[in-house]
Amino acid sequence: MDRTEALLIADLCEGDETALAPLVERYKRMVYRLAVQITKNHADADDVMQETFIKVYRSIHTFRRDAAFETWLYRITVNEALNFVRRRERQRESTIETTPEAAYEASTRYRVELANDPHAQAEKAELRQYVTEAVNSLSLKHRMVVILHEFEGLTHAEIASILNCSEGTVRSRLHYARKKLRTLLKPYMEASAI
Amino acid sequence: MRTKCHKIERLASDYIDGTLSEGQTAVVASHIRSCQPCQREVADVKKTRHLLRNFYVEPDASDAYYAQFTTQLQQRIEQSAPTALHQRFAAVATRLGWQLLTQMYRYTDHFRPSRFISIKRHALPYYVLALAMTLLIAAPFFLTQVSLHDNGEHVRLPSVTAQPAVTPATEQDMTMAHLIGIRRNMNSERTTETPTVDSGSDVWKFTDEPMVDGYIFAKFRKDSSDAVPNIALGIDSELLAYAQFPAQGAIWARLPSRDVLTEGRYALLLLRGINTGQHALQQYERKRSESKGFSQISEKLLDVPLEMLSVAAVYDPIEL
């Protein structure tokens, strides 16, 4: 934790609301990225972001200074996102209108970002899409471990702390997630001749 | 070989992450050099990781969205802020309270238990369960202790006084005299008079003061090295117990119900009048012949109504 961040947290603890904005500015992309990958839905990710930062604002006094703020924030985001996913699953059981997958497919920004990607016209665009879809096809538990480890670069211990499970569980999930991804990506491994 | 390959397959993921120990890394490296399938397995995991890290499109939103989000968040926080006077007052009080708690937490944080004891959060239910079971097991013991102390209304020593007549020349003389006293009391007839407990040169007796119903909490002694006289406390027709009397540090207490005699070490006995009837002595003799030690007597005493207790005679622990 650098000094600026430590000061911001200390100010927020003291009740200085203006200290929240710089923290939001610093971590908003990280929180959004994680939220949208777990919920697979921009609207839900937006809600998760709101709830996450509101929780940070209200519960900053419970943050222990000897821990990393980032890890604490990851934990809040994951918990909030999981709450949304569970809530959505309950709703899906009661109303069979728009499935989250459908909402995800219809979710504009994510797809537009992909379509507007300058690399989308390149020959690797298909591979990008396929890899992304392969990750999204994983179960929630496996997906979270892959996201946190491969894309967010967290260690097994940090992931275990965030997901409130043992390191062994994290390793095991990562192993099976990679195994499934390997099966899904097998044709592309050979084609891309990495 | 298959078993080993299966193990290597499970380790492959950690191997390419570099999270294995040195020993495990060496084992995997050595195995994959000689095993083609495992070599492919590791290569595939590497390729998968490469694809993920290089071709996965991480979702992101536009800058406009983030700007809009920040504004919305700020508005939401402001909306949730109190407006009415009493709400503002409550908010200020809450904030001050939190600050106070935070300061206290900071101050006491240095001594927090987690600095000394590491408890994993996922293991917390097991700790709670263990604590609950410990409390469940220990509760009867503590309740017994509490009832002993709370209900223990200390009463004055019921009319027992020591009246030293002649100081014995030696300890041996005193023991011998004590034994003589025992024999004499055993042969005594039933009487309603206050008995005199003769321990040789020391005369121990129950005085003529009004008898206060009470309980003797006396410590048993198995050895007879101590020359302090002892008395046997008997129960009509049922049981007798042996207690050293007066014992050093003996506690006098009153209990509302029947007692409490645990493992032959301590006895809490009722003194209600004095009865050295022949029948009681006979019963005592019978029980004494049946019982080989204090523990057996003590265990039986638990089932005896306190009202049946009476002082019987004086006996030496050696005889028991």
Identify all chain A residues contacting B80, using CB atoms and an 8 Å cutoff. Answer: 54
A141 vs B85, more confident: A141
Half-sphere exposure of A185 (CA within 13 A, CB side): 34
Q: How far is B275 from B192, CA to CA, in rounded Å? A: 7
Q: What is the ipTM of this complex?
A: 0.76
Lowest mean pLDDT among A15-24, A123-132, B67-76, B300-309: B300-309
Say which residue the tokens 């419970």 belong to: A62
Residue A25 pLDDT: 87
CA nearest A46 in B: which residue?
A: B69
Check if the beta carbon of residue A161 is closer than 8 Å to that of residue A73: no
Helices (H) and strands (E) in chain B, counts: 9, 10
Q: So what CATH class is A1-116?
A: mainly alpha
What is the residue extent of each domain of chain A?
1-116, 122-194
Residue B144 pLDDT: 67
State how far the alpha carbon of A150 is from the alpha carbons of A154, A156, A174, A181, B184, in Å.
8, 11, 10, 13, 96
Confidence of residue A151 (pLDDT cuts 50, 70, 90): confident
Check if the beta carbon of residue B309 is closer than 8 Å to that of residue B235: yes
Express the helix, strand and coil content of chain B in percent, nearest 5 each: 50, 15, 35
Residue A64 CB partners (closer than 8 Å, separation 6+)? B109
Q: How far is B15 from B317, CA to CA, in rounded Å? A: 75
The domain A122-194 is placed in CATH, from the list 3.40.720.10, 3.30.1600.10, 3.40.50.150, 1.10.10.10, at: 1.10.10.10
Q: How far is B316 from B320, CA to CA, in rounded Å? A: 7
CA nearest B66 in A: which residue?
A: A28
Residue B261 pLDDT: 34
Indicate yes or no: CB of B60 within 8 angstroms of CB of A185. Answer: no
Indicate yes or no: CB of B47 within 8 angstroms of CB of A146. Answer: no
* Interface contact B94, partner A, CB < 8 A: no
Indicate yes or no: CB of B55 within 8 angstroms of CB of A42. Answer: no
Q: What is the mean pLDDT for each group of 10 consecutive residues in chain B (320 residues)?
A: 74 85 88 87 86 83 85 80 64 77 71 65 80 88 60 33 31 34 29 34 32 34 36 35 35 32 32 39 53 42 37 33
List residues bridging with B199 in a β-sheet. B202
Whether pTM > 0.80 for this model: the answer is: no
Identify all chain A residues contacting B102, using CB atoms and an 8 Å cutoff. Answer: 13, 61
pLDDT at A77 over 90: yes
Nearest to A131 among B52, B72, B120 (CB): B52
Check if the beta carbon of residue B234 is closer than 8 Å to that of residue B313: yes
pLDDT at A185 over 60: yes
B residues 245..274 contacting A (CB < 8 A): none
| Dihedral pair phi/psi, residue B275, rounded to 5° | -140, 110
